[in-house]
Amino acid sequence: MAVDYAALKAGGFMRQKQKNTFSLRLRCVGGTVTAEQLAVIKQVADQYGHGYIHLTARQGIEIPFIKLEDIDDVKAALAKGGVEPGVCGPRVRTVTACQGGRCCPSGCIDALDIARKLDARYFGRELPCKFKFGVTGCINNCLKMEENDFGVKGAYDVSYDESQCIDCGVCAKVCRENAITFEDGKLIFDADKCSHCGRCVKSCPTGAWEGKSAFRVYIGGTFGNHIISGKELTPLIKDEGTLMRVADATIDYFDTHSNKGERFGKTLERLGTDELQHILEEAVAGAEA
C-alpha cells in the first residue's frame, strides 16, 4: 500500500531518517499547553515513541519515533486528551506568542488572546509557501517579531493630560527613546520618537499619562537560510478589528502574488512593497470609515 507522505506531513507527521518513522509536531498555540494535555503527551511519548519529547524553536512540541503503523492510534490517543497535531509544509503554521499583559509587567496586550484569534482565523490555510504568525506583548520583543511573515508587537497608544502632571520627571527618566524631555520646567513630548512601550504610562504616579493597547505589525520577515527583517508598513494599529483587516489583506496578497515555494520576504524583494503598502493603507482606513 502506497504511503501518502505529503498528506502525513500536512498533518504534522514529519519523516525521520529511520524508515517508516515520524516525528509528530503538535499544535501548541502561543506555546501554551494544559496540564491535562501534558499528561496525554507523556503517555503517547512513552507508549508510541522513545519516552521523550522535543521542544522546537517556535514553542512547539514534537514526539519523535512514531511508527507508521501506529499513526492512527496516536492521533486517537491524543484526541482524547484534547491534543491536536500541528501542520507542516506550505500552509499557515501554529501561531507563537509570549504571555503578554496577562502575566508580564511590561506587556501592553494579551498576546496569547491575539495568538488564539489569529490561529482560529488562519491555522492550516493552504498557501504557496509556509506562513508564520507571531505575537509578542511589548517592545522587549521576546518572540522576535521581525522574523515572522506577520509579526505583531504589543504597544500603547499614549496620551498626556497636562492638568494631571506634577512635573516629577519620572516619565522622562524611564523613557528610553528620549521622547519626553523638560524644557524650562515644561514637559515636551516628541511623538515621532515614541516607541509606544508604555513605560511613561506605567510609571506615572498621577495618571497624567494614559495608554490604550495597540499593535505594531512587521511583515515579510524570515529566518533560516536567508534572513530577512520584517518591515513595518502600517502606522500604529489601534484596535483588533483593524489588526484582522490588515492580516486578511496581507495573507491574501501573499496567496495571490507569491510563487510556489517562495517565502513572503522574497516575494516582497521581487515585487517591492509599494502595492502592498497601498492595500494595507486601505485596510486600515476601511476600519475607520
Cβ atoms of residues 264 and 129 within 8 Å: yes
Cβ atoms of residues 262 and 226 within 8 Å: no
- Which grid coordinates are listed for 158? 499614549
Q: What is the reported pLDDT for 2?
A: 80
Cβ atoms of residues 265 and 222 within 8 Å: yes
Of 54, 80, 106, which residue constitutes the final position of a domain? Answer: 80
Residue 208 lies in a domain: no
Cβ atoms of residues 84 and 41 within 8 Å: no
Say if residue 114 is in the same domain as residue 231.
yes
Of 25, 50, 80, which residue constitutes the final position of a domain? Answer: 80
Q: What is the reported pLDDT for 289?
A: 37
Q: What is the CATH number of the domain that holds 16?
A: 3.30.70.3340
Nearest to 151 by CA among 100, 222, 91, 249: 222
Number of domains in the chain: 2
Cβ atoms of residues 21 and 68 within 8 Å: yes
Cβ atoms of residues 16 and 63 within 8 Å: no
Say if residue 234 is in the same domain as residue 105.
yes
- Which grid coordinates are listed for 70? 501506529
Q: What is the reported pLDDT for 185?
A: 85
Residue 183 lies in a domain: no
Q: What is the reported pLDDT for 184?
A: 87
**Please, what is the angle between helix 264-271 and helix 240-257, to 10°?**
70
pTM of the model: 0.92
Range of the domain at 131: 96-155+214-288
Rg (CA), the chain: 22
Residue 181 lies in a domain: no
Residue 209's SS3 state is: strand
Nearest-10 Cα torsion for 257, 262, 266, 271:
-20
Cβ neighbours of residue 242 under 8 Å, at least 6 residues apart?
Answer: 283, 284, 287, 288
CA–CA distance, 167 with 12 (Å, rounded to integer): 57
- Which grid coordinates are listed for 71? 499513526
Say if residue 108 is in the same domain as residue 223.
yes
Q: What is the CATH number of the domain that holds 264?
A: 3.30.413.10
Say if residue 109 is in the same domain as residue 65.
no
Cβ neighbours of residue 97 under 8 Å, at least 6 residues apart?
Answer: 29, 30, 31, 32, 59, 111, 112, 114, 115, 134, 135, 136, 137, 143
The tens-digit pLDDT sequence of the chain (289 residues) is: 688 999 999 999 999 999 999 999 999 999 999 999 999 999 999 999 999 999 998 999 999 999 999 999 999 999 999 999 999 999 999 999 999 999 999 999 999 999 999 999 999 999 999 999 999 999 999 999 999 999 999 999 999 999 999 999 999 999 999 999 999 889 999 999 999 999 999 999 999 999 999 999 999 999 988 899 999 999 999 999 999 999 999 999 999 999 999 999 999 999 999 999 999 999 999 854 3
